[in-house]
Every structure is written in structure tokens, then in C-alpha cells.
Amino acid sequence: MNFVQKNLANAFTLGNLFSGSIGVIELIKGNYEITAICIIVSLILDFLDGFVARAMKTDSNLGAQLDSLADMVTFGLLPGIAMYKALEPFGNQILGIDLPFEFKYIGLLITVFSCLRLAIFNLDDEQTYYFKGLNTPSNTILIFGLYYVLSEKYYFINVYSETLVVLLLITILSSWLLISPIKMIALKFKSMKIKDNYPKLALLIGGFIILIIFGIVGIPLVIVFYILISILFQKQLK
């Protein structure tokens, strides 16, 4: 096996990191369409690195570490910055009361818990055919998707206490889901029998229908559906 073949999977991983880094920069600059493209590219590369490593039998401890470090930027820092920006308009005031901190920094809890989730995943050998807790790519799609559809291009983020409470609750729920014990569907197939893959089929069909009906607004809704369908099929995930 030559050098290129041996390191192809790692090259995809580093490509994920490069794309995610650009996504973070463009998000800060307010270029949300470019950020969305970067997330899509990173998702593809994140899938390819694992697929290639398994197919070519080039799995390694280096590859596993690189994968987590790359994901920490693309699927850890990026969603934290997205929530930071969503909370930024609220400053440090609620119901006319000035607080000694600005709400926007609470959004970075998503980054902190993403890091914790990735570390836990690296030490857990049970998560082969399912995830324990919400995986970081899905969480990124949820958080950035919500921010994207609430941006000025589609609606807007109202600087009202009710909106602030909703965003704070989403931040807390997202952070908890990342490290929760809830089993989540992974699109990895142990068997090709239809009866063994009902949760995956339900997710794929339901997600497709949501996107057809709601379009781009349906992207974060697909992740909500993913969480709900995973909870519904808890006993079948193993």
C-alpha cells in the first residue's frame, strides 16, 4: 500500500477541518450561504474519511484522533458561534434588568458540551450501530439551521424576552442531548433485513417528506424528527 492510499482517509479528515474553519470565519462575517456550503462539504468529507478507512483497512489511532479534532472545529466551534450570534442582539438585559454578563456567551456551552461529547465517544466502544446522545454533525445542522432560517434572509430574530428564553432553552437542551444516554439512530447497517432497519427507514422516509413539504426550513425540523424517532425506537437500537 503506497503513501497516498495509506493516508487518503486522513486527507479527507483534514479537508473536513479546512472546510469547517472556513465555515466558522464566514459565519462570523455573516456569509451564511458560504457557511452552509462549508458544512455540507465537511459532512461529506466526514463520511468519506470513515468509509475510506474501513474500505481500505487503514483505520488507525491517528485517524481517530484527527477525526475528533476536526469535528471539534466543524461540529463543535461552529454551532457554538452560531448560537453566540443568535444571542448577540440581546446584550445583557432582560425584563429591564441589567445583568453582569452578556447572554451571547451562553451559546458557547454548545461548543463545551460538543468537546465533552467527542471525548466520551472516543472512549465508548458501544456506539457501533447507534449513537449515545445526539452526534455533533446532527447538532450542528440543528443549531445552524435554526439560526439560518431565523436570519434576516428569511425571518428575523426578535429582541424580545420570549425569544431569548427560547434560544436559551435550545442551548441547554442541545448541550444536554450531546451527552445524554438516549440512543440515537446511526445509518450503519448490521443486517440488510428490512425488519432490522425499521428505525433507519422511518428516519429516511420521514426526513425526505419533511424536506419536500418545508424546503430549507425543514432542515432543522429533520433533526427534531431524528431525535423523536430515535426516542420512539429506543428498544430496537442495539
Express each pLDDT in 44-87 by its tens digit: 999 998 888 888 887 788 888 999 999 999 999 999 999 999 99
φ and ψ of 100, to 5 deg: -80, 15
Q: pTM above 0.85? A: yes
> CA of 135: how far to CAs of 27, 62, 104, 110, in Å?
21, 21, 23, 12
Residue 33 in contact with residue 23, Cβ under 8 Å? no
Residue 170 in contact with residue 113, Cβ under 8 Å? no
3-181 is classed in which CATH architecture? Up-down Bundle (1.20)
Give residue limits of the domains in the chain: 3-181, 186-238
Residue 199 in contact with residue 237, Cβ under 8 Å? yes
More confident site: 198 or 161: 198
Q: What is the pLDDT of residues 116-168, one digit of tens each?
A: 999 998 888 777 778 899 999 999 999 999 998 877 555 555 555 577 888 99
Cα R_g (the chain), whole angstroms: 19
Which pLDDT value is given to residue 235?
81
Which pLDDT value is given to residue 92?
79
Q: Which helix (H) or strand (E) holds 6?
A: helix 3-29
* Residue 127 buriedness (CB in 10 A; 0-12 / 13-18 / 19+): middle
